[in-house]
Amino acid sequence: MRHIGILGGTFDPPHMGHLVVAEEVRVELDLDEVLLMPSQEPPHKHTAAASNHDRAQMVRKAITGNPCLNLETIELKRSGKSYTYDTIKLLTDKYPQVRFYFVVGADMVEYLPHWKHIDKLVEMVQFVGVRRNGFDLESTYPILEVDSPLIDISSTRIKKRLACGKSIRYLVPDGVHTYIKENRLYEER
């Protein structure tokens, strides 16, 4: 049986914090790989600023050079809100010989009671909680805890810096930085 982590998010844009979390979870739990899975339309956030195509391309650029990190586009291929239950159902049906580990930040651990079909979901996937400043990892649901270096980077902050013409160097991988510049993403219009 393979053991695969899933790190979902808008990845709008993907940044070094995403990569550190993905790699730390992979190493700590001895996973075969971690899939970075951009969401179509997260139930708890606004629509992404960059297109699905651009976000997938940026994730590809971000994970270049690490064969244990891969892109999963299943949610980008569906329309409407991206509910984790629906996605995990599709993945477990398609890959019955895989044990999935769904990675969430501590902020999302607190929100788990509000997730669609959470009681069924915890039977289908192992949740992995990663520490985040200002949040606890306490939950009534079974959560594996992983300590990861706390890197206070957010996609929102990156977009604000870009809109003001400020540097995002070292906040995103070089390939992502180049892609953003070449495609003029997140510029103030």
Is the Cβ–Cβ distance between 143 and 129 less than 8 Å?
yes
CA pair distance 162, 28, nearest whole angstrom: 34
DSSP per-residue letters across 35-61: EEEE-SS-TTSPPPSS-HHHHHHHHHH
DSSP-derived secondary structure letter, 172: B
Would the pTM of this model clear 0.85, i.e. be above it?
A: yes
Report the side by side order of strands in the sheet with 98-105.
Answer: 69-71, 33-38, 2-9, 98-105, 126-130, 143-146
Identify the segments of the chain with pLDDT beneath 70. Answer: 41-46, 133-134, 188-189
Tokens representing 15 are: 């940044």
CA pair distance 99, 158, nearest whole angstrom: 34
The per-residue pLDDT for 90 is 94
Backbone conformation region of residue 94, classed left if phi is above 0, alpha if psi is from -120 to 50, else beta: alpha
Burial of residue 44, with CB atoms counted within 10 A of its CB: 0-12 exposed, 13-18 middle, 19 or more buried: exposed
Tokens representing 93 are: 């049906």
The rounded mean pLDDT for the chain is: 91
- Domains (range + CATH), the chain: 2-151 (3.40.50.620)
The per-residue pLDDT for 16 is 96
The per-residue pLDDT for 147 is 85
